[in-house]
Amino acid sequence: MKNITEKEMLQKAKELEPYENKWVALVDDKVVASGDSPQEVAEKVEEKGYTDVVFHLVSSFSKIYIFSL
């Protein structure tokens, strides 16, 4: 894993900006599908033929989260 720079970190954050509160599928950290549920995203991913994807729920940008349970 290469060290990421602050500029690259900002770029990465910007790439997720259109997907606030959406589920996304990532391939090599790039969004290849999005939707309101993981099931919807999985269907899109299958249609596009991707097999090795990572699912992620993009958090709201207007809150700071403290997740400890």
Closest approach, Cβ 18 to other proteins, in A, equals 11
**Cβ atoms of residues 65 and 50 within 8 Å:** no
Binding flag, residue 10, other proteins (CB under 8 A): yes
DSSP 34: E
3-state secondary structure of 35: strand
In this structure, are strands 23-27 and 54-57 parallel, antiparallel, or unpaired?
antiparallel
- Site for other proteins contains 51 (CB under 8 A): no
Q: By CB under 8 A, name the one of 9, 43, 46, 48 that touches other proteins.
A: 9
- List beta partners, residue 57: 23
Residues interacting with other proteins, by CB under 8 A? 1, 3-4, 9-10, 12-14, 16-17, 20, 23, 26, 37-39, 42, 53-57, 59-69
